[in-house]
Amino acid sequence: MTEILSNKDGEAENPNAVEQMKTGQARRKRLFSAVQPSGTLTLGNYIGAIRNWRMLLDEYDCIYALADLHTLTVRQNPADLRRNTYALAALYIASGIDPEKCVLFVQSHVSAHAELSWILNTITYPGELQRMTQFKDKSRSHADNVNMGLMDYPVLMASDILLYGADLVPVGADQKQHIEITRDLAIRFNGRYSDTFIVPEPYIAKSGAKIMSLQDPSKKMSKSDPNPAAFISMDDSRDTIIKKFRRAVTDSDTTVRYDEEHKPGVSNLLTIYSVITGKSIGEAEAEFCGKMYGEFKTAVGEAVADVVDPIREEKNRILKDKAYLDNVFKNGAESAGRMAKRTLSKVYKRVGLVQAMP
């Protein structure tokens, strides 16, 4: 697991950064992201998040978390939550998120996340949280459980990010609001107590950032969709994946071309095919020029199955080795904890709390 060193100011520092300073290279930027272990992820989650994370490992110092505390804003079956946490970690690793090249940990294993949230709550205003789109949406969909954790979700997310001095946070195009409030809180704290936090920037992938439903391309692909044909689960079999794509909604036209306004279904499939195969949209359009929709949809399904199938098999293999995953969690929490403790100690000092003796 990556060892975290300290520079002369006591800041967390990756050994790669030390080597870069020796050779005269600039320090690599740090990147943080997290996903809730709330069930099976979809192809949209893979394309919009995990796939990008893998590709960022060699460019940034990456910190990735399993955001189990965030899941508690919606009622969870405890056994399912534990099982889903292991399954998500196995999926990360099977997808190429190598725990030897990044810090991979469970959010609740580092208590500083909850501790910093309390401090940030003291500079957060109720109106800011009530305006958050996710709070409004979840309040409608979970009207019987509108809890304070649901409202406070963005503050915990801000704590997740600010604890690690993240320069960049990969987000979907529809999640920029969470980064905006994180930036606001960092700037507000720095202005009130002196410079403490790095103000992060959103990192949005140039393509494939938002994958739409296969049955209603006006909606984002979601595992909570009541129609299972609308989404591709990362646990779907090869045959299931191909069948779902064959049933995907397109239009009454017969031309495979990208046009989000008039051909949202075809455009969504072209986006998926482009991201999965590495071909440009133009190359994909040329490949299917003059071909029927049935052939096009089958080809997209087969391309996706070629990617998802080996990931699913590797995930299931890793899940059988619980001792390995527990060791990943332990090493990740130790590395993340050292970084988080430095930040939290600085915050406590800034706000005037008497420091506990070691």
For residue 198, which of 11, 52, 26 has the smallest C-alpha distance? 11
DSSP per-residue codes, 155-169: HHHHHHHHTTT-SEE
For residue 14, which of 101, 92, 128 has the smallest C-alpha distance? 101
| C-alpha separations of 138 from 132, 148, 149, 220 in Å | 10, 12, 11, 15
Measured between alpha carbons, how far is 299 from 285 in angstroms, rounded to an integer?
Answer: 13
- DSSP tag of 1: -
| Catalytic site positions | 138, 220, 223
DSSP per-residue codes, 99-149: TTTSEEEEGGG-THHHHHHHHHHTT--HHHHHT-HHHHHHHHHTGGG--HH
Only one residue has tokens 């699913």, namely 312
Q: Please return the burial class of 75, using the count of CB atoms within 10 Å of its CB with bins 0-12, 13-18 and 19+.
A: exposed
Cα-Cα end-to-end distance for the chain: 26
Measured between alpha carbons, how far is 55 from 98 in angstroms, rounded to an integer?
Answer: 11
Measured between alpha carbons, how far is 179 from 200 in angstroms, rounded to an integer?
Answer: 8
Which helix (H) or strand (E) is 78 found in, with range? helix 78-94
Measured between alpha carbons, how far is 175 from 69 in angstroms, rounded to an integer?
Answer: 18
Q: Are 62 and 101 in contact (CB under 8 A)?
A: yes
Cα 277 vs. chain centroid, distance in angstroms? 22
Cβ neighbours, 10 Å, residue 1: 18
